[in-house]
Structures are given as C-alpha cells and as structure tokens.
Amino acid sequence: MTFDERKTFLKDIATSISRWSFTRLFAECIDKNHFDSSRETIVEVQAFEQVVSRFEQYLEIQCKVTHNQCLGLLIHDNNETVSKKHTLLMKEFHKVGTFWTDITQIIETPLFVNSELTSMIQIADLCSYALRRYLENGEEYLFELIFQRADRKDGIAVGVRHFTNQPCPCRICIEHRKPQ
C-alpha cells in the first residue's frame, strides 16, 4: 500500500468507529515530557487506575439506566511486564477499590491477548495512535473521528483525559472541563 492508501484505510476504520454509538473510549494521555522519569512507574500506575475507575463508573451508570447488571472486562495488548503489573493492580483494586471508586462491575483481572490475534486490540491501537498523533503532532484527521466516542457525562468528555503539568488548549483538555 502507498502512504496515501494507508492513510485512507486508517481514516475509513476511524470513520466506522465514530459511528458505533454503542462504543465508549477511555484513555489517559500523559505528557511524559513534564514528568521526572524516576516517577514514570507511578504515573503509569495512576494512568491505569484512572482508566479502570472511569470504566467502572461508566458501567455503574449503565446499570442504573438500564436496570440490568452491567459487567465489563478489560482486554489488553499482551506485554509481559505490563501484564504482571496490571494483574496485580487489578487484584488490589478488587480488594480495596481505587482512589475514586470500588470495583464491582469489572470482572476478573485484564485479559491479555496478542494484537495480531484480534482486530479489537488493533482498533484500540488505532484509537491510541489517533490520540497520540493529535497530542504530539496536532494531527486531527483521525482524532476528530475517534474522539467522538470518548465517554461523556453532562457535556464533559470524562472518558479521555490529557494529563500535563501546564495549561493546555487541546480539545481533550477543553472538553474535559465543566462547560461555562
């Protein structure tokens, strides 16, 4: 495939994702340029905790809206180092909760699969790629489509957060704040 063909292909997939009304995007985008590398593990743990907490709260809201039990499962790209950390963290979250919420709707520890084996992990990778390219390079052609699926509550994009230690004018930061 040529570069333009690959770009069109990615945009076609992102367009399909943008139309999936049943889909919600949860992500923690961390600007590592603003953090001490000795704290990187702490930042990664907090990022995982944030995503888990937001997903849990989304499931709790869905239970109330539908009056049905809503259970969720985390499926993660397989990485030996990350899988061990996240499995241990998730076991701890099930015992004592996260800083923000108890974990009652997310079942089990994350399921880890190789991205070559499932298209859903590849779709998650595309979403991550779109967020990263937007934040690092200002590329909007995929971001505009993917960001439509960010979980929202009362007009605020609560599912996706950009974490930086300075004021940020990006759409993620703007839409994560309360409307004026």
User: Residue 175, CB half-sphere, CA atoms under 13 Å: how many?
Assistant: 17
Res 179: pLDDT: 66
Is the model more confident about 32 or about 154? 154
Instruction: For residue 38, name the pLDDT band (cuts at 50, 70, 90).
Output: low
**Is the pTM here over 0.85, yes or no?**
yes
List of residues 6+ apart from 83 with CB closer than 8 A: 76, 110, 112
Is the model more confident about 153 or about 36? 153
